[in-house]
């Protein structure tokens, strides 16, 4: 009972305990008008510096808010290494500035780390292109727009986990290293030891170098779906939120070699419509949360208003999508190829044509989708698959009802894929399952309006680029 009371106390008063431990207020807290008249000690980096007749005005930020705290310093108190970009600690009283915002009147100032502007790539009051900023990934978080993007990424991460918890899903940590090529497309990165000494020590006769460590080839995962299917057959509703890796030779604004995927898998579900409803709920729930908690950062990024948020998502078949595209072929650059996937231009056209509202395209040709998708009952040439197409990014979510028939699945597994364990799931207490995956970075592009996917992830990797 005593331990229980201590735990309850710590949970209730955790914030106060942390404040007492370091005795500093955050910039976010200091900007609260409730603190006017109080003494405060804050830390951060100088984001702007303005010298007036008697005072020096500093914009100080510690990354907790898009809005810096204005700090007023008497000229006589100016320390030697004060400059744009330096880090500091200041103490003083929080007052109200003429514009109605909080500001701190400095009593004491200490420079923690100076900033040598001669070698600093981001000078004050200068605008830089995203390509230029991307050259300095280690310093990029200090730019205003990118720090806002990272705060939104954090909010979205928590909103996704809260949504799934509220919906009764259990989080599964699916493996990063795997013997499976889930999509069967060969777009995988192979894993092997870098140490030749280790390779020689572990080498087995008849086993190639790539199989030395695990006795079989191992890859960086392209998806945790197959592992989630195993867990769904015991836990009913599961999800992961993990990195995924695709070895594609593309540098487009919508592709990365390493990215994050949110994947959900549900047992006892065989309806594509029910699956689409679950995916729609996820997108809307997380977006509502970002608007509520991240409005200031969305304003910094000049994010587009999600006018689709209070509307039902569209729902059309692949055949209906082709019909729309065919009737508007004169407005398209790339020809439509029935039986194949849609080009990005086709995806964005469909979204715009249907009112700039995200739209599910369902019932895809068998040959355009992976082996694990279940055939449509009324048309064996198609599978019960869905792609959610969204403004700006095109395909955002992909999902399907999974093939639950042992014999049919066995006949569809591509040669060379050792998936006996996956087949075995269909032998012991089998149930229908369905699931989907959403690219996290593409979702962030959709909500923030950031045009290039490389600018919504802290350290992007793409062909010929893996710095840091």
State pLDDT tens for residues 448-467: 999 999 999 999 999 999 98
More confident residue, 418 or 63: 63
What is residue 2's predicted lDDT score, i.e. its pLDDT?
Answer: 61
Element holding 392 (H helix, E strand): none
Q: Across residues 69-92, what is the average pLDDT?
A: 95
Q: What is the mean pLDDT of the chain?
A: 93
State pLDDT tens for residues 325-371: 999 999 999 988 899 999 999 999 999 999 999 999 999 999 999 99
pTM to 2 decimals?
0.92
State pLDDT tens for residues 274-295: 999 999 999 999 999 999 999 9
DSSP state of 1: -
**Residue 356 CB-half CA count within 13 A:** 8
State pLDDT tens for residues 161-214: 999 999 999 999 999 999 887 665 668 999 988 888 888 888 887 788 888 899
Residue 58 near residue 9 (C-beta atoms within 8 A):
no
What is residue 20's predicted lDDT score, i.e. its pLDDT?
Answer: 43
pLDDT at 125 over 60: yes
What is residue 17's predicted lDDT score, i.e. its pLDDT?
Answer: 40
Percent of the residues in the chain that have a pLDDT greater than 90, as a whole number: 82
State pLDDT tens for residues 227-284: 999 999 999 999 999 999 999 998 899 999 999 999 999 999 999 999 999 999 999 9
- Give the CATH number of domain 145-186+222-455; options: 2.60.120.200, 2.60.40.10, 3.30.930.10, 3.40.50.300: 3.30.930.10
Q: At 18, is the pLDDT very low, low, confident or very high (cuts 50, 70, 90)?
A: very low
Round to whole Å and give the CA distance between 39 and 23: 11
- Ramachandran region of residue 125, left (φ > 0), alpha (ψ -120 to 50) or beta? left
Domain range annotation of the chain? 15-125, 145-186+222-455
- Ramachandran region of residue 100, left (φ > 0), alpha (ψ -120 to 50) or beta? left
Q: Quickly name the fold that domain 15-125 has.
A: OB fold (Dihydrolipoamide Acetyltransferase, E2P) (2.40.50)
Residue 101 near residue 27 (C-beta atoms within 8 A):
no
Task: Name the one residue in this structure whose structure tokens are 């809005």.
Answer: 67
pLDDT at 440 over 90: yes
State pLDDT tens for residues 368-394: 999 999 999 999 999 999 999 999 999
Same topology, domains 15-125 and 145-186+222-455? Answer is no
Residue 246 near residue 254 (C-beta atoms within 8 A):
no
């Amino acid at each position: 009972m005593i331990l229980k009371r201590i735990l309850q106390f710590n949970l209730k008063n955790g914030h106060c305990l942390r404040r007492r431990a370091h005795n500093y207020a955050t910039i976010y807290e200091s900007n609260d008008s409730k603190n006017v008249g109080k003494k405060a000690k804050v830390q951060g980096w100088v984001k702007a510096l303005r010298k007036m007749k008697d005072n020096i005005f500093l914009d100080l930020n510690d990354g907790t808010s898009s809005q810096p705290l204005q700090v007023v310093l008497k000229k006589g108190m100016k320390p030697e290494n004060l400059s744009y970009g330096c880090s500091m600690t200041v103490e003083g009283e929080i007052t109200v500035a003429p514009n109605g915002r909080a500001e701190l009147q400095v009593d004491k100032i200490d420079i923690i780390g100076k900033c040598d502007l001669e070698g600093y790539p981001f000078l004050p009051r200068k605008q830089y292109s995203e390509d230029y900023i991307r050259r300095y990934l280690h310093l990029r978080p200090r730019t205003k727009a990118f720090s806002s993007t990272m705060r939104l990424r954090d909010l979205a991460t928590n909103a996704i986990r809260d949504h799934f918890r509220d919906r009764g899903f259990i989080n599964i940590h699916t493996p990063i290293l795997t013997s499976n090529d889930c999509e069967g497309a060969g777009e995988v990165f192979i894993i092997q030891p870098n140490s030749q000494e280790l390779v020689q020590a572990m080498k087995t006769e008849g086993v190639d170098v790539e199989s030395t460590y695990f006795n079989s080839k191992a890859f960086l995962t392209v998806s945790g779906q197959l592992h989630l299917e195993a867990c769904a057959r015991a836990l009913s509703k599961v999800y992961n939120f993990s990195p995924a890796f695709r070895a594609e030779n593309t540098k487009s604004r919508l592709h990365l070699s390493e990215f994050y995927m949110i994947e959900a898998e549900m047992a006892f579900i065989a309806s594509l419509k029910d699956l689409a409803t679950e995916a729609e709920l996820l997108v809307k729930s997380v977006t509502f949360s970002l608007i509520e908690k991240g409005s200031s950062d969305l304003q910094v990024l000049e994010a587009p208003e999600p006018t689709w948020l209070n509307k039902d998502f569209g729902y059309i078949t692949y055949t209906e999508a082709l019909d729309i595209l065919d009737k508007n072929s004169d407005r398209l650059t790339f020809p439509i190829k029935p039986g194949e996937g849609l080009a990005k231009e086709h995806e964005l056209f469909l979204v715009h044509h249907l009112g700039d509202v995200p739209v599910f395209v369902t019932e895809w040709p068998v040959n355009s989708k992976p082996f694990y998708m279940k055939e449509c009952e009324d048309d064996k040439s198609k599978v019960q698959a869905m792609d959610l197409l969204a403004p700006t990014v095109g395909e955002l979510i992909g999902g399907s009802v999974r093939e639950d028939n042992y014999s049919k699945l066995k006949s569809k597994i591509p040669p060379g894929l050792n998936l006996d364990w996956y087949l075995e799931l269909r032998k012991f207490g089998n149930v229908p399952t369905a699931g989907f995956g959403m690219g996290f970075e593409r979702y962030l592009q959709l909500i923030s309006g950031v045009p290039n996917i490389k600018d919504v992830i802290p350290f992007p990797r793409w062909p010929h680029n893996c710095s840091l």
